[in-house]
Amino acid sequence: MDSKANNFDQAIADIDEDLKAQRANPKKSNNELLAGITAHNLGVLHVLAGNDDEALPLFEEAIDRKRNELGNDHPEVAISLDEIGIQYFAKKMFVESLEAFIEARYIRSKETVDSKHQPKVAMVLNNIACCYFQMGQHEDALNTLQEARDLLSSATGSNATADLDLLHVAITHCNYGYLLLRAKQYEKARSIFEEALLVRRSLVELLLLLMNLLHLCM
């Protein structure tokens, strides 16, 4: 374990003890579900500590336990599917990553009756597009990013606006613009990059505003 991991040693040890206790008594109270949530949280800690190999089986365990307790289509399952998809992607296991993201997208799509959930679906679509690109399916990647942008556009101006992650919006725009460049659609790509720049400027302005407010409160 490198120096990066040392900052997380105690937290990992504490949560690992909780997980062991929950595994030992799966029938007690709601320990099966708690073990799924704890396994996910422990996996996230290992990712932050740089222990990616330790994280992957924990996310797999989290998915299995959450499915057992909550069913296949619960949003909690999608949260762990997103994480395991990212881990697969980092290991260049793009087929497995795509499968995880597609399942997460299916679950999250069920929430879109309320537009506040559309940005979550858009973020999963961005991840799916990245998998398609790495697998050489550039047309599928382009179409998927267009779908993500459409969702983000329909969310703007609704009660979802406050929930939009501006950074992810900018990333989706940039990825889409890059694929348009590869497709030699230069004018459309330029327009998309300009949109991304505006979003990033808004993000910087928001961060500056928050910093000023924090300064005033100190």
Whether the Cβ atoms of residue 159 and residue 119 lie closer than 8 Å to each other: no
Whether the Cβ atoms of residue 45 and residue 52 lie closer than 8 Å to each other: no
What are the boundaries of each domain within the chain?
A: 7-106, 111-218
Low-confidence ranges of the chain (pLDDT < 70): 1-6, 111-117, 154-168, 192-193, 196-218
pLDDT reported for residue 113: 52
pLDDT reported for residue 84: 95
Q: What are phi and psi of 80, to 5 degrees?
A: -75, -30
pLDDT reported for residue 208: 52
pLDDT digits (tens, 9 = 90+) for 14-56: 999 999 999 998 788 788 999 999 999 999 999 989 898 999 9
What letter represents residue 103's amino acid?
E
> What kind of architecture, by CATH, is found in domain 111-218?
Alpha Horseshoe (1.25)
pLDDT reported for residue 128: 95
Cα distances from 137 to residues 65, 68, 131, 179, in angstroms, run 33, 34, 9, 11
pLDDT reported for residue 217: 45
The C-alpha angle with vertex 121 and arms to 144 and 61, in degrees rounded to 5, equals 110
pTM: 0.76
Q: Which fold has domain 7-106?
A: 1.25.40
Distance CA 63, CA 26 (A): 15
Answer yes or no: same fold for 7-106 and 111-218: yes
Pinpoint the alpha helices (H) of the chain.
Answer: 3-6, 9-24, 31-49, 52-70, 75-90, 94-109, 118-134, 138-155, 166-182, 186-217
